Chain A
């Protein structure tokens, strides 16, 4: 748990702003929710990320794209310190959320992961009822104090995740009895239930059919009003549809980041151009 190196972020947040804004996705101070600087990640001796610096704005969707093994998921996992759980993994550099260094010793990763929720490729509901799946987080984090408030949070979360109407009459059936797309929305409800500020999604639709995918995309578009969302996806079209900003990773480096419209119609870097047009990867 403590094998990640402490960051040396003091005085760093302002110094990297000289990077070309077009290609690195550095934003003005006021806009950035997540501010990563010079992130290097090692799995043992193998370096997975090289000097990644990027800002992610609040109340919007940022897509991370790139070929398999390019480091996009590794970077995503830095943002809620999921890499802490991998024994051989070492993270260097600074990541700030709302100006606060998440790798600071004072930060409790469990609390951090409540405010930085995560949704994975395969829906992973707990082997419990639909109700319990959503109620679990608020209960252990002490968000709900009594049964009515817990029930209210469960209903609100399921509504926000766009699945309430489908499950309200079967809240005590197992979460695993739902279809894949419903399970994915259930785990999104579970993530929302603890009032996160950031939601990380690692290929949330890759195991879903087109209709379930469309529902998740619709949901992402609604959620972005209130959350900072980062989505890793292999579908160019999905990145283009759901995100406002896109970052392209290649071989552990952030190649280009910027406005999604710009990235998909007029990318600056030839590697981005080659990747999005289906020329390698």
Chain B
């Protein structure tokens, strides 16, 4: 696309894009490190993630400030308007992803106090899927190729299914051995956080799709059984 008659407008939009890419990079790093901290029981890495979240928050405020200024001064229209509003929403999504990664890192510290639990591997696998989705959606933002957004949008089911099966497995572990309830509960929250990150990636896919096409992505997304409330089957109560 050609440049704006007012060169500064083009520069401001470019700066916004660069900030968003940087924020995406930080969030991706935080999520990857948080998942590794869980898998390797790495307290140092967990602390780096927790500390690093401040950077993401600062960047989000900076992006919001720039967007307010741009809206007031330039009154963007058409794609510029979609891009500006999309940046505001994407910054919000990335900030949430950063928070969730921080929460995963905090739980990585907590889990250290307990014996290792076998299901950590499953959580790690789930985490890697989320990292892959986040990376893919951030690539879409840079490449502006809509198909990438659609692909991420369609993929969320995979994480939901992982979460559902992990939920059942963790429940079984905790029922079998009450000492597992502590680490099991933490891992359950970690899995839930990863599942939420998948939802945020889906939201980002919707925003990017609208940014690039001006249309809503639609409503026909494949969905696993409600990930928030998977069916629970408890053993029958012991009879006297």
Interface positions of A (Cβ within 8 A of B): 236-237, 240, 264-267, 272-274, 276-281
Contacts and interface: CB of A to CB of B under 8 A. Distances in A.
A271 to B, nearest CB: 11
A265 B81 CA distance: 7
Contacts of A281: 5
B168 interface: no
Contacts of A265: 77-78, 81-82, 214
Nearest to B81: A265
Given A265-B214, A266-B214, A273 B5 contact: no
Interface string B71-93: 00011111111100000000000
B78 A277 contact: yes
A264 B78 contact: yes
B3 interface: yes
Interface of B: 1-6, 9, 74-82, 214-215
B interface, by DSSP: helix, strand, loop or mixed? loop
Nearest to A236: B77
A94 B69 CA distance: 47
A240 B5 contact: no
A279 B75 contact: no
Nearest to B13: A277
Contacts of B214: 265-266
Given A266-B214, A278-B9, A240 B77 contact: yes
Contacts of A280: 2, 5
B193 to A, nearest CB: 34
B27 to A, nearest CB: 28
A276 B2 CA distance: 13
21 contacts: A236-B75, A236-B77, A237-B75, A240-B77, A265-B82, A265-B214, A266-B214, A266-B215, A267-B78, A272-B78, A273-B78, A276-B77, A276-B78, A277-B4, A278-B4, A278-B6, A278-B9, A278-B77, A279-B1, A279-B4, A281-B5
Contacts of A240: 77
B210 to A, nearest CB: 9
B3 A279 contact: yes
A55 B144 CA distance: 36
Given A265-B214, A266-B214, A277 B82 contact: no
10 closest residue pairs by CB, A with B? A266-B214, A276-B77, A277-B80, A277-B78, A278-B4, A273-B78, A279-B2, A276-B78, A264-B77, A237-B75
A235 to B, nearest CB: 9
B3 A277 contact: no
Given A236-B75, A279-B5, 20 more contacts: A240-B77, A264-B77, A265-B78, A265-B81, A265-B82, A266-B78, A266-B82, A266-B214, A266-B215, A267-B78, A272-B78, A277-B78, A277-B80, A278-B4, A278-B74, A278-B80, A279-B1, A279-B2, A279-B4, A281-B5
A237 B74 CA distance: 10
Query: For B2, B75, B77, which residue has the most chain A Cβ atoms within 10 angstroms?
Result: B77
A176 to B, nearest CB: 34
Query: For B6, B74, B79, which residue has the most chain A Cβ atoms within 10 angstroms?
Result: B79
Contacts of B77: 236, 240, 264-265, 276-278
Contacts of B215: 266
Nearest to A239: B77
B79 A273 contact: yes
A246 to B, nearest CB: 11
Contacts of A237: 75
Contacts of B78: 264-267, 272-273, 276-277
A281 B82 CA distance: 21
Contacts of B82: 265-266
A138 to B, nearest CB: 41
Nearest to A267: B78
